A = this chain, B = another copy of it.
Amino acid sequence: MAYTIKDVAKEAGVSVATVSRILNGLPGYSVKTKEKVMQVIGEMGYQPNAIARGLINKRTKTIGVLLPAVSDLFASLVLSGIEDQAHELDYSVMICNTDQDGVRTMKYLHALREKQVDGILFISEQLKKEYYDAVIAMQLPMVLVATTSPYNVPFIKADDEKAVYDGVTYMLEQGHRAIGLLAGTKGDPIATEPRMKGYERALKSYGLLVEQKRIVYGDFGFASGVTGAEALVKQDPSLTAIFCCSDEMAAGALSYLYSQNIAVPQQVSIMGYDDTKMAEMTIPPLTTISQPLYEMGKQSVTMLLQQEEQHWIIMPHSITVRQTVSART
């Protein structure tokens, strides 16, 4: 067994209350006592038991993070911001890989509750009513990261509609007129619909028609980028540009075009979305919409832990120009 506060107290010849005060920086002891106690602690290698502490404080200094997949570049970048900020504030983070599975998510929610986490961060997933109800019942603070909900839950995200509007407008400015859209999961109210609206608004602002053959749905993954680009090119060979709603799909599109000997950006321009690490690794390096994913992660923990803060934050996006979009003259 490891030493307890009692052992320290006995060894230092004081009461546990005094040791506790010293440990917690509370007033009420002489310099001399403190020195003696600290010395004993050092010698014994005593470390307080956060579990016992948590039982009293009702605070565990740990937060739970639910995300679709830890091995996803997008989510892991957000996670890394969360982790850094949590560490900064002396919190620990428990990860829960939901796999987008409802049953699994509910299991995690219960586990987090039982383990008395101080709050929950929900990354980039749709907040189902079931989840929302559970969290409310548990009375746990929660904030959504890179997603929103129809409920009154704090969130932090970018303006997806505007981001795609800006991206497509950029392509339009480069002279492209036949622009395809490789959208996300069909019907997704968070990451697909607003982005489609942005695409449509951009085209309309240039007096262009929105044509169904120029829109294809994917699932944000690489493989769907390959098949999506293929569908797009076959449905409309006159396309000179494709806006992809994730970097991974953009990489898939790049792969497909390469396999068909279609030169990027000379024949077809490609644009991605997210600016994950892979955007600079593609060939050619990917022009994409940057979202401050890491920063969003950081701020989300601040929001979560300081409930007096504002209820939602829209983070700025920008266009990172690399080499997959060229001017069309």
Instruction: Given A73-B73, A77-B71, answer yes or no on A111-B92 (Cβ-Cβ < 8 Å).
Output: yes
Residues of B within 8 A of A222 (CB): 277, 280-281
Decide if A84 is an interface residue (CB 8 Å cutoff).
yes
Closest 6 CB pairs of A and B: A50-B114, A71-B80, A71-B76, A83-B97, A50-B115, A51-B54
- Give residues 78-103 of A contacting B (CB, 8 Å): 79-80, 83-84, 87, 90, 92-97
Residues of B within 8 A of A79 (CB): 70-71, 95
1/0 per residue A89-128: CB within 8 Å of B?
0101111110000001001101111111000000000000
Stretch at the interface among A41-49, A184-192, A309-317: A41-49
What number of A residues sit within 8 Å (CB to CB) of B?
58
Q: Are A258 and B283 in contact (CB under 8 A)?
A: yes
The smallest C-beta distance from A249 to any residue of chain B, in angstroms, reads: 11
Q: Are A87 and B92 in contact (CB under 8 A)?
A: no
- Give residues 31-82 of A contacting B (CB, 8 Å): 45, 47-52, 54-55, 60, 62, 69-71, 73, 76-77, 79-80
Instruction: Given A50-B116, A51-B60, A281-B252, answer yes or no on A97-B80 (Cβ-Cβ < 8 Å).
Output: yes
A274 to B110, CA, bound (A): 35
A96 to B69, CA, bound (A): 17
The smallest C-beta distance from A3 to any residue of chain B, in angstroms, reads: 11
Tell which of A87, A254, A258 has the most Cβ of chain B within 10 Å: A87
Instruction: Given A70-B80, A73-B71, A115-B62, answer yes or no on A281-B283 (Cβ-Cβ < 8 Å).
Output: no
